[in-house]
Amino acid sequence: MTARAIATISALVCALLCDSAGLAAESAVTEHVLAVTVEQEVVASDLRIGGDDKQTRFVVDLNRKIDFAAFTLADPYRVVVDLPQVNFKLPAKAGTQSRGLIKAFRYGLIMQGGSRIVLDAKGPVRIEKAFVLDAAEGQPARLVLDLAAIDRAAFMRNISLQTRPAHNTGAKPSEPSV
């Protein structure tokens, strides 16, 4: 075998080995990215509803703590919970059960990166508390909504307060906002 043939074969072997090492490194990076993505996915695994026609608690088990927004709507009476994108792995008949102030509920993806839970209420309600608990002592993170029955007039006042702009300039009424 000539020196030129040996050099060519060596170059090909080196190229194959380097390319394989590059593919292995790329594969390791891809696996790491997928692992991080899967780890950050929010999963709702179970839920509970407890209470009566005066107060009701709605709880969703999550794999991690999240940010959310909750508000009420009228005609028909609803409580809406906006969430980051959630993979709902709930029991098959979840949402059909009626208990306390909740007639039924539905959930799902509303846009890329965003999910929603809509609670159909039996009448006008107020969100007394809405919070997420960290996972602790073998319990998963939990989204908790405490609802209380109110009259329609109070409900409509709450709705009007909800729709006011959340932007606060910090200016006093006598000062112009800039």
**Residue 89, pLDDT above cutoff 80:** yes
| Mean pLDDT, rounded, for 95-118 | 95
**Residue 175, pLDDT above cutoff 90:** no
**CA 148/CA 157 separation, integer angstroms:** 15
Where does the pLDDT of residue 11 fall: very low under 50, low under 70, confident under 90, or very high at 90 and above? low
Token digits for 48?
């509970």
**Residue 129, pLDDT above cutoff 80:** yes
**Residue 8, pLDDT above cutoff 70:** no
**Residue 74, pLDDT above cutoff 90:** yes
Q: Name every residue whose Cβ is closer than 8 Å to that of residue 90 and which is 6 or more positions away in sequence.
A: 44, 45, 46, 47, 107
pLDDT of residue 117: 97
pLDDT of residue 168: 35
Q: How do residues 34-49 score in pLDDT, each as one tens digit?
A: 444 455 799 999 999 9
Between residues 1 and 157, the one the model is more confident about: 157
Give the DSSP H/E element, type plus range, for residue 108.
strand 102-111
pLDDT of residue 161: 85
pLDDT of residue 133: 97
Do the bridges between strand 125-133 and strand 78-84 make them parallel or antiparallel, or are there none, so unpaired? unpaired
pLDDT of residue 5: 54
**Residue 61, pLDDT above cutoff 80:** yes
State pTM to two decimals: 0.70
**Mean pLDDT across the chain:** 81
| Mean pLDDT, rounded, for 96-111 | 95
Between residues 85 and 167, the one the model is more confident about: 85
| Residue of 91, 85, 88 whose CA lies nearest to 110 | 85
**Residue 29, pLDDT above cutoff 60:** no
